[in-house]
Amino acid sequence: MKNKVLEKIKDFRHINRQASGSQEMEDLHVPEDVMIECDGLVKIYKTKDIEVLALQGLDLTVRRGELMAIIGNSGSGKSTFLNMIGGLDRPSAGKLYVDGKNLFQLTEEELVDYKRSTVGFVWQNNARNLLPYLTAWENVMTPMLFRQDSMTEAEKKQRAEELLELVGLSERKDNKLSQLSGGEQQRVAIAIALANDPKLLLADEPTGAVDRRTADDILDMFRRLNETLGVTIVIVTHDKELASKVNRVISIRDGKTSSERIMKSEYKQRLEDITINWNEEEVQEEFAVLDRAGRIQIPSELLQEMGMKGNKVKLELVDGKIVIEKPDN
């Protein structure tokens, strides 16, 4: 039955994409296989007396169909970045394309349509996704009530039921939120995020309020949705264990991409076994990120091991390798 549901949703995605067309891609300077392209992205928050530089020239490319995670300490800029690509906030400078759309050039009306049809959100705080006085099915139906296309009422009802079946809650569709566990509520939130067939799914700390087992179940669901629907998924998280189970992890520090972890090929075929006690150093290979200006962030733990105290280092090219050393004095 679930395979039939997936086929119906795939058909719906195909029809919906044809309606939106690919004309907008012809005017862009990013490859068609790129979902997110950031170049020197800057965000400055201003108050009466203070300016806070949340993003300091962030560079990042996300391919269509990726399942990736973004990690970083509080204040690193990861949530600000999520707000930028989600259309919830405007960048201050740089370049930002999502699904071929230049987010700098969108009008307010176009931005509303972008948030309605291109991106779906899953938040840690379920209150941002769910209406407690409605049933699970009614919650999933709600975002479709604002669709401005030819989808009939019967088709919307059917899609809501199919999405709840896809997240394993078809038998709980008539339950109100107070009758659902935290994990089940998060599944409803995922179904809501998929209701309008987004090309990009953004999840902000989606496992922050559930236990380890439920967190693994949610990640497994994201992986299945990524594989079966082809939706691009970006997860912002503090959970390094969860992050170690996706194909790519970007670390953000001080508003810039500082490092990138890519899953080793021998582990990709074992992704479905999320019960393994994954070790991120064993599973993923870490790379420092060289930005477009040739700058690199050295991980703080390496600087500590070197005993670095100042802001200067010595660079030397030895046998084709760049060696970083402390100054002599």
**pLDDT (tens digit, 9 = 90+) per residue, 51-84?**
888 888 888 999 999 999 998 888 788 888 999 9
317/83 Cα distance (integer angstroms) = 40
Question: What Å distances lie between residue 49 and 52, 53, 134, 178, 254, CA to CA?
Answer: 10, 14, 44, 44, 21
Q: What is the pLDDT of residue 68?
A: 92
Is beta strand 232-236 parallel, antiparallel or unpaired with respect to 248-253?
A: unpaired
Which pLDDT score is estimated for 198? 93
Q: Do 314 and 324 touch, CB atoms closer than 8 A?
A: yes
pLDDT digits (tens, 9 = 90+) for 168-221: 998 999 999 889 988 899 999 999 999 989 999 999 988 877 788 888 888 888
**Residue 139 near residue 188 (C-beta atoms within 8 A):** yes
Domains of the chain (ranges; CATH) run 2-297 (3.40.50.300)
Lowest model confidence (mean pLDDT) among 213-217, 277-281, 323-327: 277-281
The total number of residues shown for the chain amounts to 329
CA atoms of 9 and 159, how far apart (whole Å): 8
pLDDT band (50, 70, 90) for residue 15 = very low
